[in-house]
Structure 1
Amino acid sequence: MHIAVFSQYHTNPDCPATSRHYSLLQHIARQHRVTLITTNTWERQRLTQQYPWLPEGVDLLAADIPYHNRMGVAARGWAFVKYMGYAWRQGLRIPRPDVVWGISTPLSAAWVAGQVARRRQVPWVFEVQDLWPTFPIEMGAVRNPLAQQQLYVAERKLYEQARHIVTLSPGMTDYVRGLGFGADKISTLLNGTDLDQAARATPAAVAELRRQHGLEGRPVVLYAGTFGRANDIPTLVQAAEELYQQRPDVVWLFMGHGYFEPLLREAATRCPAIRLVPPQPRHAVFTWLAAADVSVASFISKPVLATNSPAKFYDSLAVATPVIVTNPGWTRQFVEEHRCGWYVPAEQPQRLAEQLAAVLAAPAEARAAGQRGQAVARQQFDRQQLAARMQLILEQAAG
């Protein structure tokens, strides 16, 4: 079977980003022919060379289209338009696929996948990574009411036209079902994590990392991810400064890059608790997470963000590090049900600092929470199992 995959951003484990589709494609390409239509955005950002850029058996078509987190709305929009043009041309040139797999974000990547599938008269599967256009609209990126209406109409048409819909969280599934689509058309495949890479975070590797960075004997809080507008970084800075007044021995690591990096650099100069860690390749992130006593998966208070499926959440639990979440949606329900983390409302630095102080004051309880989370991660988050499910969905869609 020939599968055409439309994904604007391809990454591998050498990149400072999640590599969900690398794992899924690696599994699927063992059984089927795969053509990936993407961009080279992340290839130039590889930090190591430990993994092939492409899984074996995947054919690559990549446009040269720059993109980064600091881009404004117009520049991002232009990058999306350029990819649509490139993907449309390539989608019509490749040998006719048996099924098309369109991956958002952005929504435009899934839209062009649907158009190519329609033109080639083949079924397609729509994978929803984030709820677009709800996310950019709630973030203020699309203010024109007419444009918002048109985007919602386009979104609904994509759901209607797709043979099957895949979401990355129960919250996203609830959203799609709320639009009137039946359960038989929707599958929830969590973002998940790479348990083989998590296994590299051995006690020896963790001890060596702590020794190298002067963390021996000190409580560590870690935020690992994008310093973006949606990630509530100013609240984390305030919480770190308040926690420092109570526990000056605590180190708060911020690992990543993005919009709020200048704010963090300035905060690190005035607060000894705050340290910036350069972006790390995905395969190295697990050791940093394992070296932390607790991690934080934070977002601002927007309803759409309660549905998201952050990689840092899965990766942290995979190495038995408990998580504090600020989304009131399914992640809150998850950590409370499995007792593997805690919930603190978004944009409340005082409450976050208080919760962190309580967690760090009871290390045995925190370790037990992390162990419970790791047990669940091994059962539910394995991307190899998720890849097998995705392969079956594609096979069924192709008939």
Structure 2
Amino acid sequence: MHIAVFSQYHTNPDCPATSRHYTLLAHIAKTHRVTLLTTPAWKPQRLTQEFPWVPEGVEMREAAVPYENKMGPARRALAFAQYAAWAVREGLRIDKPDVIWGISTPLTAAWAAAQVARWRKVPWVFEVQDLWPSFPIAMGAVPTGLARRQLYQLEKRLYQSARHILPLSPDMARYVTDLGIARAKVTTVLNGTDLDLAARATPAEAQLRRSQGLEGKQVVLYAGTFGRANDIPTLLAAAEAMAATATDAVWLFLGHGFHEPLIAAAAARWPGRIRLVGGQARHEVFTWFALADVSVVSFLALPVLDSNSPAKLYDSLAVGTPVIVTNQGWTKELVERHGCGWYVPAGNAEALVTQVHQVLAQPDLRNEAGHKGRQLAAAEFDRQQLAGVVQRVLEAAQVTA
């Protein structure tokens, strides 16, 4: 079977990004022909050279469309439109696929997949990584009412035209079915994590702790994008409050993004107690999670963000580090039900400080929560197993065409 994949952003484990689709594509390409239509936007951010840029068996077509997290709304919209236009043209040139896999975000990538599927008369599968356009609208990136209505209409048409839909969380799946899409057409496939890469972390953790001067320290870790949606100012308020009193606690901020200058300024005010760590390659980030006593997964208090399926949640649990989440949605229910983390309301720095102090003061509680998280990750978050689910959905879409 020939599968065409429309994904504006491709990363591999050498990049400071989740590289979810690298794992999925590697699995599927073992038994099917795969053509990836993407851009090289992440290639300049490659930090190591341990992995080939695309998995073996994947044919890649790249559009020279630049993109970075620091772009403003207008520049991002241009990049989205440029990729979509290129993807439609390229999708009509490649050998006819049996099924098309369209990956949003952005929604325009899924639109391109749908257009090529319609013209070539083949089924397509819609993977929903974030709720678009709900997310950019909630962030104020779509200023006019007309544009918002048009985007919502486009979103629903895409759900209706897709043969199957793959949301990354239960809350996303509920959102889709609440729009009138049949439940039988929707399969939740969690973001997941790479357990083989996580297994490398434990042997390397002690060495990293020594090299970073963190022996005898209690570590609170935020790893991921320093984006507008990630509530970084609240984390910094909590970190600075603790820095003023807790001499053995260190907050590490690992990553890059919009709020990086704020973190750098806080780190300068509290050297040694707040640290800005640059982005790390995917295969190295697990060791940072392993040395942490607790990690924080934070977002703004916006309902649309409650549905998120953040990679840092899975990565932390995979190495046995419990998490504090600030979403009121499914992640809160997950960590409380499985006893692998705690919930603190978004935007409440005082409550976050209280919870972190309680966690750091109870090593037995931390160890028990970490053990439960590791068990949960092995049972439900393995991307090799999730890749099999995605492959079966793609195969079924082609069979029922």
Q: Offset at 1:245?
A: 3.0
> C-alpha separation between the residues in 2 aligned to 1:67 and 1:356?
36
Provide structure 1 residue ranges, at least 5 long, that are not aligned to the other structure: none
Residue matched to 1:209:
208
For 1:255, give the aligned amino acid: L
> C-alpha separation between the residues in 2 aligned to 1:21 and 1:82?
22
Q: Aligned runs of 1:159-174 on 2, under 5 Å?
A: 159-174=159-174
Residue matched to 2:227:
228
Residue matched to 2:397:
397
Q: Contact 1:344 / 1:351 at 8 angstroms: preserved in 2?
A: yes
The secondary structure found in structure 2 opposite 1:157 is helix
Tell me the TM-score normalised to structure 2 length: 0.99
Q: Contact 1:201 / 1:287 at 8 angstroms: preserved in 2?
A: yes
Q: CA RMSD in A?
A: 0.6
2:250 counterpart of 1:255: no
The secondary structure found in structure 2 opposite 1:324 is strand
Q: Aligned runs of 1:109-128 on 2, under 5 Å?
A: 109-128=109-128
Q: Offset at 1:182?
A: 1.6
For 2:104, give the aligned amino acid: S
> C-alpha separation between the residues in 2 aligned to 1:42 and 1:303?
29
- CA distances 1:338-383 after superposition (whole Å, capped 9, x unpaired): 0000000000000001100000000111111011000010000000
- CA distances 1:124-168 after superposition (whole Å, capped 9, x unpaired): 000000000000000000020110000000000000000000000
Q: Contact 1:193 / 1:315 at 8 angstroms: preserved in 2?
A: yes
For 2:215, give the aligned amino acid: E
Q: Aligned runs of 1:59-208 on 2, under 5 Å?
A: 59-202=59-202, 204-208=203-207
The secondary structure found in structure 2 opposite 1:90 is helix
Q: Contact 1:247 / 1:357 at 8 angstroms: preserved in 2?
A: no
Residue matched to 1:24:
24
> C-alpha separation between the residues in 2 aligned to 1:66 and 1:253?
30
Residue matched to 2:267:
268
Q: Offset at 1:3?
A: 0.2
- Corresponding residue pairs, total: 398
Q: Contact 2:35 / 2:58 at 8 angstroms: preserved in 1?
A: yes
Q: Contact 2:216 / 2:248 at 8 angstroms: preserved in 1?
A: no
> C-alpha separation between the residues in 2 aligned to 1:181 and 1:155?
12
> C-alpha separation between the residues in 1 aligned to 2:137 and 2:37?
27
> C-alpha separation between the residues in 2 aligned to 1:133 and 1:258?
21
Q: Contact 1:22 / 1:55 at 8 angstroms: preserved in 2?
A: yes
Name the % identity.
64
Q: Contact 1:254 / 1:277 at 8 angstroms: preserved in 2?
A: yes
Regions of 4+ moved over 2 Å: none
> C-alpha separation between the residues in 1 aligned to 2:222 and 2:66?
26
Tell me the TM-score normalised to structure 1 length: 0.99
For 1:18, give the aligned amino acid: T
Residue matched to 1:340:
340
Q: Contact 1:289 / 1:319 at 8 angstroms: preserved in 2?
A: yes
- CA distances 1:77-122 after superposition (whole Å, capped 9, x unpaired): 0100110111011100001000000000000000010000000000
Q: Aligned runs of 1:223-372 on 2, under 5 Å?
A: 223-272=222-271, 273-372=273-372
> C-alpha separation between the residues in 1 aligned to 2:128 and 2:156?
12
> C-alpha separation between the residues in 2 aligned to 1:292 and 1:283?
16
Provide structure 2 residue ranges, at least 5 long, that are not aligned to the other structure: none
The secondary structure found in structure 2 opposite 1:210 is helix
The secondary structure found in structure 1 opposite 2:9 is coil
| Higher mean C-alpha deviation, range 150-159 or range 245-254 | 245-254
For 1:102, give the aligned amino acid: G
